Amino acid sequence: MAFIEIHGPCRIQGGLTVQGSKNAVLPMMAASVLNRGITVLENVPRIQDVFCMMGILDSLGCRCALHGNRLEIDTSKINGWRIEQKAMGKMRSSIMLLGALLGRFCEAGVYSPGGCMIGKRPIDWHLRALRALGAEIRESEPDGFLHAQTTGLRGAEIIFPFPSVGAVENALFAAVAAVGRTVLRGCAREPEIGQLCHFLNGMGASIRGIGTDALIIEGGLPLHDSRFVIGGDRIVAGTYLLAAASCSGEVIVDGVQTQELRALTGVLEHMGVSLYQEPELIYVHSGQRLRAVSVKTGPYPAFPTDLQPFLMAALSRADGTSMLRETVFENRFGTAAELQKMGANIECSGNIARIDGVETLRGALVRARDLRGGAALTVAALGADGWTRVSECEHIERGYEDICRDLRALGAEIRRREDDGDREDTD
């Protein structure tokens, strides 16, 4: 196991270009299975989730090659429709291969997925959508194996009771392969869904209504080789903006669509942070103690649940009492217990967290329980007195190319080390 050490307090300052979006590239990698040829993705982040998905695709007979941030996927020799349980357990995003493999082979076998333990995140809506398109799906206990088959996918009208990103992605893959028109209503409107639709259209699909909650797909069209440039990761951008806010920093983040972060920038302004924005650039300057705010998470365009742990970390040192209401994942407050070890005054009850800001946090030994929570502890440590050690930092590496490199470039005293002390990054 590895850990990250941070010495605070420090004031980060400088500029960063955001890496490609994790939540955009993973479904595109799954969608590449639909094309019987080569897909090229540019601006791909070199993160563990990408390497994991490459491994899954390779196990199915695909050929994946990542050169720098350019990924080439050749699916012409894919010969498998079943993913092994061990591979599925490493990453929740692997569930989206269910719809893609079903569209390619009319058969797919997967297991209930793994990933961060931040909530139940049931896949019922995924299965209902695929069944509506003509799939027969058997679920076996206790291993959670899902076997999907169809004699032919057919277009249908599907209404989602909740805007689930993953369910919409699986439905899109199957709908692109289905014969006839599919109408998806109640869709998630996250920017990553929009990127995926544009990517699929670039392969030859026909998807209309992009950016709305109603998508119309004309299925069964021939697909072809394509190239697509991944947009910047809005959650990584938000990470460094909230890092600057929490430690009186001054940071410029570019390479991300500013409009995708309107919920965050609005909250930052209410917290007393100065901002300047251009279409693909955000500048923040925090020169005083933050003001307390009340925020509720929700599906896009509401405040993103993935940024809630970072906001909690920043508000731990704000002036006054803040309230956070989590409406997406029931276990998203797991980071609160770790922040309490650093002196934060946080009380959680159900889906509500009350945060009474303290003037200072102190360094402590804390544990990364999940991807965003671990990164949020790293952000909190920037403003804490003394050394903080964040253990199990492998969670963080699922979504960040190198958080230590990025924060060091902004002036932080931070390093990644192995538990035995034999290895240490030296960038």
**Residue 116 falls in the annotated catalytic set:** yes
d(CA 235, CA 304): 8
Same fold for the pair 2-19+232-418 and 22-229: yes
Looking up tokens 């544990």, which residue turns up?
Answer: 367
pLDDT at residue 420, rounded to an integer: 64
Looking up tokens 């791909």, which residue turns up?
Answer: 44
pLDDT at residue 191, rounded to an integer: 98
H helices of 60-116, in order, are 85-88, 97-105
- Residues 302-361 have pLDDT tens digits of 999 999 999 999 999 999 999 999 998 767 788 999 999 999 999 999 999 999 999 999
Domain boundaries, the chain: 2-19+232-418, 22-229
pLDDT at residue 143, rounded to an integer: 76
One-character DSSP codes across 169-206: HHHHHHHHHSBEEEEEES----HHHHHHHHHHHHTT-E
d(CA 90, CA 113): 8
- What are the structure tokens assigned to 401, written together? 């190319």
Fold of 2-19+232-418: UDP-n-acetylglucosamine1-carboxyvinyl-transferase; Chain (3.65.10)
22 is an annotated ligand-binding site residue: yes
- What are the structure tokens assigned to 102, written together? 């079903």
Dihedral angle computed from the Cα positions of residues 195, 201, 203 and 206, in that order, rounded to the nearest 10 degrees: 150
Residues 6+ positions from 385 with CB-CB distance below 8 Å: 8, 9, 360, 361, 362, 363
306 is an annotated ligand-binding site residue: yes
pLDDT at residue 196, rounded to an integer: 98
H helices of 133-261, in order, are 165-177, 191-202, 234-246
Residues 6+ positions from 109 with CB-CB distance below 8 Å: 81, 82, 83, 101, 145, 146, 147, 148
328 is an annotated ligand-binding site residue: yes
pLDDT at residue 423, rounded to an integer: 45
Is the domain covering 22-229 a CATH 3.60.15.10 domain? no
The one catalytic residue in 52, 116, 247, 404 is: 116
Provide, for the chain, the percentages of residues in helix, strand and coil under a 3-state DSSP scheme, each rounded to the nearest 5.
35, 30, 35
Q: What are the residue ranges in the chain where pLDDT is below 70?
A: 90, 92, 113-121, 330, 420-427
Looking up tokens 């797909």, which residue turns up?
Answer: 217
pLDDT at residue 422, rounded to an integer: 45
User: Taking the CB of residue 14, how many other CB atoms lie within 10 A of it?
Assistant: 15
Treating both helix axes as pointing N-terminal to C-terminal, what angle do 234-246 and 371-382 enclose, rounded to 10 degrees? 30
Is residue 343 within 8 Å of 272, Cβ to Cβ? Answer: no
